[in-house]
């Protein structure tokens, strides 16, 4: 029986086909040739495989809301229906272009809405990430700030940059939250200027973030299942109760997003984002 090797499990590349769009973020490779020794994996391939697995584990972490886990899974698989994907069907180039007026100015200047364009390169996305960089600067005032690049923002490649361990969960939550907001607002900026489109995406992101913080605070106030009106056995899933210490570790870094102050025998939560 011939030994099979996983070989080049993944290669950290982004494939651009005819300048249309991203077709994959961590591109799966093929198995090594059978003549090669499967017990002596190439160090570069092993490093790429480790990065690929780590990125997928972070994207499927149970502390993330389900909608973010689904979005992250599609993003890492290149499965979001951007203009670059539609360009390979019967869609015209006009239908595949970014709807923002700034990206359609001038004859023959249509910018195809690839994942990289929609989520990073579009002027509205660039302004949103500039705002995000300022927010992260407040969360991590010391240390190297994250580069706003496809490898860091889209691929979550921590070989390029990684947050300190205490902020890793928050980084994943905020990064995916803004990516999702940019994706969900992508078709709603056809009549907006760059600043207005960026502000709309940031507002969408902040509204969902505040909602998640409030939902977690409710878990600090008591068992959220008790007000559901159904048997508790029906409500399997994440932990229904959260301690103030866990809430503080999750949301109160630097007092930027939320804060806790003593109130009688308990705590009062203040929203700051």
Tell which phi-psi region holds residue 78, choosing left (phi > 0), alpha (psi between -120 and 50) or beta.
left
Return the pLDDT at 26: 53
CB atoms under 10 Å from CB of 159, counted, come to 14
Both tokens of 12, joined, read 């950290």
Both tokens of 267, joined, read 């705590």
Find the mean pLDDT for residues 197-219.
Answer: 94
Q: What angle do CA 105, 155, 149 make, to 5 degrees?
A: 50
The answer to whether position 9 is within a domain reads: no
The answer to whether position 112 is within a domain reads: yes
Please state the domain count of the chain.
Answer: 1
The answer to whether position 30 is within a domain reads: no
Return the pLDDT at 89: 67
Q: By the 8 A CB rule, do 263 and 269 touch?
A: no
Return the pLDDT at 98: 83
Non-local CB neighbours of 11 within 8 Å, separated by 6+ positions? 26, 27, 29, 48
Tell which phi-psi region holds residue 161, choosing left (phi > 0), alpha (psi between -120 and 50) or beta.
beta
On the question of pLDDT at 5 being above 50, the answer is no
DSSP calls for 65-134:
-HHHHHHHHHHHTT-S--HHHHTTTT--TTTTB--SGGGS-STT-PPB--HHIIIIISHHHHHHHHHHHH
pLDDT band at 260 (very low <50, low <70, confident <90, very high): very high
CA pair distance 33, 36, nearest whole angstrom:
6
For residue 168, which of 249, 246, 245, 270 has the smallest C-alpha distance?
A: 249
* Residue 147 per-residue DSSP state: P
The answer to whether position 210 is within a domain reads: yes
Kindly state the percentage of the chain with pLDDT values over 70: 70
Q: Which residue has the higher pLDDT, 140 or 40?
A: 140
How far does the chain reach from its first CA to its final CA, in angstroms? 60
For residue 169, which of 243, 74, 252, 260 has the smallest C-alpha distance?
A: 252
The answer to whether position 246 is within a domain reads: yes
Q: Which residue has the higher pLDDT, 145 or 17?
A: 145
For residue 145, which of 173, 167, 119, 115 has the smallest C-alpha distance?
A: 167
Least confident of 74-83, 117-126, 187-196, 211-220: 187-196
Both tokens of 157, joined, read 């490649």
The answer to whether position 11 is within a domain reads: no
Residue span of the structural domain in which 257 resides:
43-227+240-271
The answer to whether position 146 is within a domain reads: yes
Kindly state the percentage of the chain with pLDDT values over 90: 45
CA pair distance 72, 254, nearest whole angstrom:
27
The answer to whether position 6 is within a domain reads: no
């Amino acid at each position: 029986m011939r030994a099979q090797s996983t070989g080049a499990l993944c290669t950290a590349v982004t494939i651009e086909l005819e300048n249309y769009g991203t077709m994959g973020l961590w591109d799966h490779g093929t198995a090594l040739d059978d003549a090669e020794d499967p017990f002596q994996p190439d160090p570069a391939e092993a490093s790429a495989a480790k990065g690929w697995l780590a990125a997928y584990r972070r994207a499927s972490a149970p502390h993330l809301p389900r909608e973010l886990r689904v979005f992250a899974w599609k993003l890492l698989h290149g499965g979001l229906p951007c203009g670059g994907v539609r360009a390979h069907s019967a869609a015209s180039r006009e239908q595949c272009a970014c709807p923002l007026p700034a990206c359609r100015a001038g004859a023959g200047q249509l910018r195809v809405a690839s994942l990289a364009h929609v989520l990073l390169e579009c002027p509205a996305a660039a302004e949103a990430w500039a705002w995000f960089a300022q927010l992260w600067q407040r969360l991590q005032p010391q240390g190297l700030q994250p580069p706003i690049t496809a490898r860091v923002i889209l691929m979550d490649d921590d070989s390029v940059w990684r947050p300190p361990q205490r902020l890793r969960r928050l980084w994943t939550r905020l990064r995916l939250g803004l990516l999702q907001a940019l994706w969900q607002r992508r078709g709603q900026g056809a009549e907006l200027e760059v600043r207005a489109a960026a502000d709309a995406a940031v507002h969408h992101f902040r509204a969902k973030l505040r909602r998640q913080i409030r939902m977690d605070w409710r878990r600090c106030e008591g068992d959220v299942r008790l007000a559901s009106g159904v048997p508790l056995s029906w409500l399997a899933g994440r932990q229904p109760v959260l301690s103030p210490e866990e809430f503080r570790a999750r949301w109160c870094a630097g007092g930027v997003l939320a804060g806790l102050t003593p109130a009688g025998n308990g705590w009062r939560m203040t929203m700051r984002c």
